[in-house]
Each structure stands twice: as C-alpha cells, then as structure tokens.
Structure 1
Amino acid sequence: MTALVIDDSRLARTELRRLLQAFPDVTVVGEARHADEARLQIRVLSPELLFLDIHMPGQNGFELLASLEAAPQVIFTTAYDEYALRAFEANALDYLVKPVMEARLATALGKARARLARPAAVAAPVAEPAAAPLTAQDQVFVKDGEQCWFVRLADVRLFEINGSYTQIYFEQHRPLIPRTLQHLEARLDPKVFFRANRQQIINLKWVESITPWFSNTLKIKLREGPEVEVSRKQSVLFRELLSL
C-alpha cells in the first residue's frame, strides 16, 4: 500500500513516518507541505492512500480534495477534532487526532486495506491520466457551493441534467456539478453506468424494476430514486447489452 503524507509540519511528517515503520505493507512514497505540492505528488506518484492534514498554508485539506477529479483513499490527521463530522461526510476512511496513537493508526490502516482489497481496475496509459476511466469503486470529490462530499461512484444512483449543470443523486444529497453528461459518460464504466436518455445516466446496480413502456420503450425504477424513462434507441441497446 503506497502512501503520501501531506502536512505543513516537518515534525508531524517525521513522526508519522516513524509510526508507519511498524507496518511493513505500507510504503511512504513521498511528502508534501501544502496543496500545490500535494497535487503534483499525487499526479506523479499515484499513491493509494493520503494521510492528510486539514490546516495548511493556502488551501486546506478539504479544498485540496475538492480540486482533485479523482482522489485516493484518505485518512485525515489533524490537531483539531471539530472537523470529524465533515471528514466522515466526505467519506474519509478515518480521522486521526494528533498526536497519532499507533493503535488508532493500525485501525485506520485496516480500513484502508479492506477498501483497497477490491479487484484493481485496468490502468490507463501513463501519458493520458486525465482520460483514465473511473470504476464504480473509485471515489470522487463533489463540491456544491460551501458543501463538499467524498463520494464512491457505486453509491451514485443517477446523473441528471439540470440546466447547464449535472445533478448527482446519492444518499439524500442532490448536488450540482459543472460537468456535461457527455463528459461523465466518457469517464464512467459502461458496464455499470448506462445512458438512459439525453438527460440521464443511471447506475445499473440501483435498478429495482423494469417495466415495458410506450412504443417499445422501457421505464426503470431506481432504488431510493425516481423512475427513469429510457429512450427508444437506448431501450433497444439496453435489451441487447443485458439479455442472454
């Protein structure tokens, strides 16, 4: 498991490295003192796990994550405990308050191992990282105004056009992002996410029922979500893709 330590305190980075020596399956591939340095290290080193401080010069840890199109797994490490709820709302693996205790670190790493134990996605060519496809198990950072979330794509049941934005449906949230459905369709796994019509992309794992509809089309009911009418063209494709 490769890790990047992001903290503006040299002493904090050194202490965390020392603690991680007790876990031979964890390799610290780099360090960063602030968000700009971290973005470069993430792009170059592709770590599987971030140990991320919240208070840093310039952008804080939440703002750094909001700037990433796809983020590694995250364990927050901070001297402040008042951000714990926000961190877990952002779907962080764990939240460690400094000074970090080895037992708590071991628990957090156990969560990271469990999350990373899923089958690995096929790697995209190194020369084109921006075009890398996202699997359902990948996490993305979503920001809408002052709110932000760290969302596993498997938990997103619907993408829907809303004006010049796209609305994302997960849990009870409905944030808007400045992305087109065409952009999202190109990044998402077509085995999981299906373009139902000109305005909606559905997560096939959230399908509750399928009903024949007018003119040989289909209507799909999503668990904890709305009904989606599949266009005639996409209904034909849906039957071809998912029939034996």
Structure 2
Amino acid sequence: MKKISCAIIDDEPIARDILEDFVTQDDRLSLQGNYKNAKEALKGIMVQPVELVFLDINMPGLTGFQFLKTMTNPPAVIFTTAYREHALEGFEANAIDYLLKPIAIERFLLSVNKAWKFLRSSVPEVAEAVSNTNDFFFVKADGGLVKILFAEILFIEALKEYVKIVTKEKSVITYHTISGLEDKLPAGKFYRIHRSYIVNIKAITSIEGFTVKINKEELPISRNERDAFVEIVASGKIIAK
C-alpha cells in the first residue's frame, strides 16, 4: 500500500498537534511537513512535495486560498477552519473536504477516506492488475498484499465499502467494491447471485429455493437472478473448461 504523502499548514500550535496525532495514527498517511504558515509551507513543499495538505484558511500573511493560488500544481486539499462561512468557498476551490474545528477523529477519518478514493482509486497498481491468463490475483489487506487463487474462492460478500473473500482456508477483508472484484474474476466460473454475493459455481453444495448452500453457508439468491442462475447451472454451460 503506497501511503499518501501529506503536510499540515496551520498557524495554531494546538490545531497542528491534533492533526499530527490524527495523521500518525492513520496507516494510509505519511506526514512530510508540519508548517506554521503558508510561506514556510511553500518553501518546504518545494523541497519535499506532497500529494495532500490539511490547510487552514485564516492565517496571517497568506491565507489558505492565497497559498493555493501561488502554486502551479497544487496538491489535493482538505481545508481546516473554525469558520463555517468559508465552507462554500472551500468547495468552490475543489477541495476534497472541509473540516470544521474542533476536529473530531471520526470526521477526520471520513475526510481521509475521501482523499484515498480521490488519490488512489484511479491509479493503477500492481495489486489491481490481473491478466486473464493468471489463476490468481492480489488484494490489499492486513497492511500488505494477499494472493488469492481463483480456484480457492468459495464466495465473495459485499460489506459496504469493503468485501469479504471467503476461500477454502481463510477469509480476507479488503477495501474494494464487489463490482470491481467481479470484473477481475474469470468468465464462466463465478456468478453474482445477489447484489451482495458472488459465488464460485464449483463450490456450490446445493440450491434450494432462493438459497445457495456452500458447505454450511447459506447465501440468498435475488428473485431477478434465480431462474436464469438455476438454468445456467443445471445446463453446466457456465463452467469453463
């Protein structure tokens, strides 16, 4: 997992300390600078560029908005301020988010989630690249990369912004969408029986009514998919040799 390089820019020492504490607790972030004003930040970021800044709006000298205007290629921004009236102006500046002081850790994490999606979801990574000739793929989990063999997958379950991949030996939870994983699976061997479930056809123990059994697990089949799914499984056409 490539961390997001970031910097804090705020003239209030307490605000900087709180943000630094939050940043260092998040494994997705790498703090490269903690600056007390915009002029100091400009010099520091020229030497040590960052992808993201936590930027206070009201600062002596250059304001947060003025700071951004001085940069040719500004980093992504999460504004931090004690003044709610700046929210609209902040979003008009294409900020990822706007944090109102005092900042709660839950609200901070929500902003980082948005930054991660913006800065990482569109960047191709080794973990995301899968050739149709491979019999495996990698997912990001447990602070590293986990290899998943297609043949070992029993089923995949959507968990809001995460998915759980259940294999013969283990379960792996990764930050991903079920639709994104569906695109990676080999055609003809898996079937999405429900908006929240994809099954490995060869792993199915039985189909009873609107339920698929895989070992001791019982998974729901959506009413829209049930007839087509049963017909395809019964015909054996879905199993690619």
Structure number with greater Rg is: 2
